[in-house]
Chains A and B, each alone.
Chain A
Amino acid sequence: MTLRDLLQEKKTAIVERWLEDILATYASDASSFLRRERDPFANPVSHAFRVGTRAIFENIVEGLDADTVCRHLNEIIKIRAIQDFSPSRAVSFVFLLKKAIRTELGNDIEDRQLSKELAEIDTDIDQIALFAFDIYSRCREQVYELRVNEVKRSVSALMGRFTGNDSDPESLPGPSGGNKSSGNPKPDSLPRLSDDDGLSGDSSSVRGGKK
Chain B
Amino acid sequence: MTMAKFDEPGYYKHEDLLKVDYHPPRTGWMDTPVDFRPGTYIYPGKAKNLKYLDLPNPRNWAVTDEDWKLQENWKEIVLDGMAERLRRYRTFRLFMDICVRCGACADKCHFFIGGGDPKNMPVLRAELLRSIYRKDFTALGKILGKIAGARELTYDVIKEWFYYFYQCTECRRCSVFCPYGIDTAEITMMGRELLGLLGLYVNWAIEPVANCFRTGNHLGIPPHGLLDTLEFMVDDIEEATGIKVDIPMNKKGAEVLFVTPSGDYVAEPGIQTCMSYMILFNEIGLDYTWSTYASEGGNFGLFTSHEMIKRLNAKIYAEAKRLGVKWILGGECGHMWRTMHQYMNTVNGPPDFLEVPKSPFTGTVFENARSAKIVHIMEFTADLIKHGKLKLDPSRNDHIRVTFHDSCNTARGMGILEEPRYVMKSVCNNFFEMPENTIREQTFCCGGGAGLGTDENMEMRLRGGLPRGSAVKYVQEKYGVNQLAAMCAIDRATLITVCDYWAPGVKVTGISELVANAMILKGEKKRTKNLRLETIPGAEEEDTAQGNIEHLETIEGMHTTKGGSSNE
Residue B488 at the chain A interface, CB threshold 8 Å: no
Q: Which residues of A contact B268 (CB under 8 A)?
A: 153, 156-157, 168
When C-beta atoms are compared, the residue in chain A nearest to B25 turns out to be A27
Nearest chain B CB to A84's CB is how many angstroms away?
6
Which of B246-254, B307-315, B492-500 forms contacts with chain A? B492-500
Per the bound structure, the CA–CA distance linking A196 and B402 in Å amounts to 50
Residue B437 at the chain A interface, CB threshold 8 Å: yes
Chain B contacts with A in 448-485, Cβ cutoff 8 A: 455-456, 458-459, 462-463, 466-467, 470-471, 474
Q: Is the CB of B22 within 8 A of A96?
A: yes
Q: If the complex has contacts A146-B458, A147-B458, A149-B497, are A83 and B24 also in contact, measured as CB distance less than 8 A?
A: no
Per the bound structure, the CA–CA distance linking A168 and B533 in Å amounts to 13
Per the bound structure, the CA–CA distance linking A43 and B456 in Å amounts to 26
Q: If the complex has contacts A37-B107, A41-B435, A143-B39, are A27 and B504 also in contact, measured as CB distance less than 8 A?
A: no
Which of B58-66, B112-120, B550-558 forms contacts with chain A? B112-120
Residue A39 at the chain B interface, CB threshold 8 Å: yes
Q: Is the CB of A146 within 8 A of B501?
A: yes
Q: If the complex has contacts A41-B471, A44-B466, A151-B455, are A182 and B18 also in contact, measured as CB distance less than 8 A?
A: no
Q: If the complex has contacts A82-B459, A143-B458, are A25 and B23 also in contact, measured as CB distance less than 8 A?
A: yes
Please report whether the interface of chain A is mostly helix, strand, loop or mixed according to DSSP.
helix
Residue A161 at the chain B interface, CB threshold 8 Å: yes
When C-beta atoms are compared, the residue in chain A nearest to B15 turns out to be A102
Q: Which residues of A contact B35 (CB under 8 A)?
A: 84
Q: If the complex has contacts A41-B470, A41-B474, A89-B22, are A179 and B271 also in contact, measured as CB distance less than 8 A?
A: no
Q: Is the CB of B501 within 8 A of A27?
A: no
Nearest chain A CB to B118's CB is how many angstroms away?
4
Q: Is the CB of B470 within 8 A of A181?
A: no
Residue of B37, B117, B497, B504 near A183 (CB, 8 A) is: B504
Per the bound structure, the CA–CA distance linking A45 and B459 in Å amounts to 15
Q: Which residues of A contact B497 (CB under 8 A)?
A: 146, 149-150
Q: Which residues of A contact B499 (CB under 8 A)?
A: 179
Residue B148 at the chain A interface, CB threshold 8 Å: no
Nearest chain A CB to B217's CB is how many angstroms away?
14
Residue A178 at the chain B interface, CB threshold 8 Å: yes
Q: Which residues of A contact B23 (CB under 8 A)?
A: 24-25
Interface size of B as a range: 35 or more
Residue B438 at the chain A interface, CB threshold 8 Å: yes
Nearest chain B CB to A99's CB is how many angstroms away?
5
Q: Which residues of A contact B13 (CB under 8 A)?
A: none
Nearest chain A CB to B452's CB is how many angstroms away?
13
Q: Is the CB of B496 within 8 A of A153?
A: yes
Residue of A24, A30, A156 near B118 (CB, 8 A) is: A30
Render B195-232 as a binary contact track against A, CB cut-off 8 A, 1 for contact.
00000000000000000000000000000000000001
Q: Which residues of B contact A178 (CB under 8 A)?
A: 496, 500
Q: Which residues of B contact A28 (CB under 8 A)?
A: 26, 118
Q: Is the CB of A161 within 8 A of B107?
A: no
Per the bound structure, the CA–CA distance linking A158 and B118 in Å amounts to 42
Residue B99 at the chain A interface, CB threshold 8 Å: no
Residue B185 at the chain A interface, CB threshold 8 Å: no
Residue A120 at the chain B interface, CB threshold 8 Å: no
Q: Which residues of B contact A27 (CB under 8 A)?
A: 24, 116-118
Q: Which residues of B contact A31 (CB under 8 A)?
A: 116
Q: Which residues of B contact A79 (CB under 8 A)?
A: 114, 466
Q: Which residues of A contact B424 (CB under 8 A)?
A: none
Nearest chain B CB to A20's CB is how many angstroms away?
11
Q: Which residues of A contact B437 (CB under 8 A)?
A: 39, 41-42
Per the bound structure, the CA–CA distance linking A21 and B39 in Å amounts to 27
Per the bound structure, the CA–CA distance linking A28 and B271 in Å amounts to 45
Per the bound structure, the CA–CA distance linking A57 and B462 in Å amounts to 28
When C-beta atoms are compared, the residue in chain B nearest to A181 turns out to be B504
Which residue, A30, A34, A149, has most C-beta atoms of chain B within 10 A? A30
Per the bound structure, the CA–CA distance linking A193 and B497 in Å amounts to 34
Q: Is the CB of A183 within 8 A of B501?
A: yes
Q: Which residues of A contact B121 (CB under 8 A)?
A: 29
Q: Which residues of A contact B496 (CB under 8 A)?
A: 150, 153, 178-179
Q: Which residues of A contact B190 (CB under 8 A)?
A: none
Residue A59 at the chain B interface, CB threshold 8 Å: no
Q: Is the CB of A43 within 8 A of B118?
A: no
Q: Which residues of A contact B459 (CB under 8 A)?
A: 82, 143
When C-beta atoms are compared, the residue in chain B nearest to A175 turns out to be B504
Per the bound structure, the CA–CA distance linking A30 and B121 in Å amounts to 9
Q: Is the CB of B114 within 8 A of A45?
A: yes
Chain A contacts with B in 181-208, Cβ cutoff 8 A: 181-183
Q: Is the CB of A44 within 8 A of B470?
A: yes
Q: Is the CB of A41 within 8 A of B467?
A: yes
Residue A72 at the chain B interface, CB threshold 8 Å: no
Q: Which residues of B contact A151 (CB under 8 A)?
A: 455
Nearest chain A CB to B177's CB is how many angstroms away?
11
Residue A92 at the chain B interface, CB threshold 8 Å: yes
Render A65-108 as a binary contact track against B, CB cut-off 8 A, 1 for contact.
00000000000001100111000010010011011001000000
Nearest chain A CB to B451's CB is how many angstroms away?
15
Q: Which residues of B contact A34 (CB under 8 A)?
A: 116
When C-beta atoms are compared, the residue in chain B nearest to A29 turns out to be B118
Render A138-154 as a binary contact track against B, CB cut-off 8 A, 1 for contact.
00001100110111011
Nearest chain B CB to A19's CB is how many angstroms away?
13
Nearest chain B CB to A200's CB is how many angstroms away?
14
Q: Is the CB of A156 within 8 A of B267?
A: yes
Residue B505 at the chain A interface, CB threshold 8 Å: yes
Per the bound structure, the CA–CA distance linking A93 and B471 in Å amounts to 25
Nearest chain B CB to A28's CB is how many angstroms away?
7
Residue of B24, B106, B124, B500 near A146 (CB, 8 A) is: B500
Residue A209 at the chain B interface, CB threshold 8 Å: no
Q: If the complex has contacts A92-B20, A95-B17, A154-B267, are A44 and B500 also in contact, measured as CB distance less than 8 A?
A: no
Per the bound structure, the CA–CA distance linking A147 and B456 in Å amounts to 7
Chain B contacts with A in 1-59, Cβ cutoff 8 A: 17-18, 20, 22-24, 26, 35, 37, 39-40
5 further A-B contacts with Cβ under 8 Å, apart from A45-B116, A79-B114, are A25-B24, A41-B437, A47-B470, A153-B493, A180-B504
In the A-B complex, the 4 residue pairs with the closest CB atoms: A30-B116, A183-B504, A44-B470, A29-B118
Interface residues of B (CB under 8 A from A): 17-18, 20, 22-24, 26, 35, 37, 39-40, 106-107, 112-118, 121, 124, 232, 266-268, 271, 435, 437-438, 455-456, 458-459, 462-463, 466-467, 470-471, 474, 493, 496-497, 499-502, 504-507
Can you name 26 A-B pairs with beta carbons within 8 Å?
Answer: A24-B22, A28-B26, A29-B121, A30-B116, A30-B118, A33-B112, A40-B470, A41-B474, A43-B107, A44-B113, A44-B466, A83-B114, A84-B116, A95-B20, A142-B501, A146-B462, A146-B500, A147-B455, A147-B458, A156-B267, A157-B268, A157-B271, A161-B232, A179-B505, A181-B504, A183-B501
